Copies of this chain bind each other. A is one copy, B any other.
Amino acid sequence: MLKGFSVPLTPEGKSALAALPPWHYSSDCIAIEYWADPVAIAALLPPGLAPDEQSGGRAFFWFLDWQFTASNDEITDPARYQYHEAFALVEAVFDGKPVNYCPFIFVDNDAALARGWAQGFPKKQASVYQTRSFSAPSPAAAPLAKGSRFGASVAAHGERLATARIQLEERIADPSTVFNRPTTMRRFFPQLAAGLRQKPPVDELTMSLTDNLAIVDVWAGSAELRIPEVQGEEMHRIAPVRVGRGYRLGMAYSVTDLRILRNYAV
């Protein structure tokens, strides 16, 4: 009997890119609130999601330094399981309720890519960086304090896909006023067999489920964000028309389940 949540399947399941859930995550995050062209957002939404008329094109661009562990001591193997991520979340409506939808996401780790695909996150490989906050005082420390500045960037194949900068102004007591929508994705796996290509075996609208969500140390401030046009990418379609506030926060959660909202394949 071969084992593994994902490929490759092996007798002990050690080679699998993704171990069995629960998957535990903790991160430092930079998130930039911005507004894109609402028509461009609408053009990216899968069936069943409608533009959020209240949002007027509101979106968030996130950068995350992640630490991951499952149940096999992954936390002490950072070369394999620590990673960086960047993604866009656009605001939409599902079944009358406000949600986020993730059209673009990038990671620098294949295990994160495999877990993400299983959820519906359309992950691609990229290099992602964000300024970190260190405890030893220095002009290089970027403490969580008024005036501190952070930069972040994502690039793939030697092309810069997004660049952000924020400057902290104030601590946010209640992050639920900012981050309160569930995230939806399109889970998709293609069909290569000729004649069946129009019938992908997996094509679903899904919702991310997070256990033990913790959002801590939230700061807000001014922000800059650029999403340039790059050959072979369409993310610039939702480039910022206007930029709002920037946030720097800690976030943790666990994943053990996935909600399937709609199955397009049947």
Using a CB–CB distance below 8 Å, which chain A residues touch chain B?
A: 2, 5-12, 14-15, 17-18, 20-21, 24-28, 43-44, 46, 65, 67-69, 73, 75-80, 82, 103-105, 109-110, 113, 117-119, 122-125, 127, 129-132, 134-142, 149-160, 165, 186, 188-194, 197, 201-202, 212, 214-217, 231-235, 237, 250-260
Contact = CB atoms under 8 A, between A and B. Distances in A.
Contacts of A215: 136
A215 to B, nearest CB: 7
Q: Which secondary structure dominates where chain A touches chain B?
A: mixed
Contacts of A214: 136-138
A152 B75 CA distance: 10
Contacts of A43: 11
A201 B61 CA distance: 31
A151 B194 contact: no
A27 B40 CA distance: 40
Contacts of A191: 118
A21 to B, nearest CB: 7
Contacts of A235: 15
A46 B153 contact: no
B135 A217 contact: yes
Nearest to A259: B193
A11 B134 contact: no
A6 B188 contact: yes
Contacts of A110: 113, 124-125
A259 B192 CA distance: 9
